[in-house]
Amino acid sequence: MLELIQDFLTYLEHIKHVSAHTLDAYRNDLTQFREFHPKIALKDLDHRHIRSFLASVRKDHKVTSVARKLSAIKSFLRWCAKEGHLPNSPAEIVEHPKLPQSLPKSVSVDEAFALCEPPNQVRDRALIELLYASGLRVSELVGLNIEHVDLNSKLVRVMGKGQKERLVPFHDTCAEALKLLIVGQPAQMPLFIGAHGARMNVRVVRRLIGQYGKSLGIGGSVFPHRLRHAFATHLLEGGADLKAIQEMLGHASISTTQRYTEVNLDYLMKLYDSAHPHAKQK
| Cα gap 194→217, rounded to integer Å | 25
Check 34, 225, 229, 243 and give the catalytic one.
225
| Cα gap 137→27, rounded to integer Å | 26
Extended strands (E) in the chain = 149-150, 155-159, 165-169
Active site residue 161: yes
CB of 1 within 8 A of CB of 34? yes
* Residue 100: closest CA among 139, 53, 62: 62
Check 148, 228, 259, 276 and give the catalytic one.
228
Active site residue 206: no
Check 161, 179, 207, 280 and give the catalytic one.
161
Check 49, 69, 137, 148 and give the catalytic one.
137
Find the angle CA(212)-CA(144)-CA(252) to the nearest 5 degrees: 90
The gap from C-alpha 78 to its chain's centroid, in whole angstroms, comes to 26
Instruction: Report the side by side order of strands in the sheet with 155-159.
Output: 149-150, 155-159, 165-169
Check 26, 212, 260, 272 and give the catalytic one.
260
Active site residue 228: yes
Active site residue 137: yes
The secondary element (H helix, E strand) that includes residue 133 is helix 122-134
Active site residue 68: no
Check 34, 58, 68, 251 and give the catalytic one.
251
Residues taking part in catalysis: 137, 161, 225, 228, 251, 260
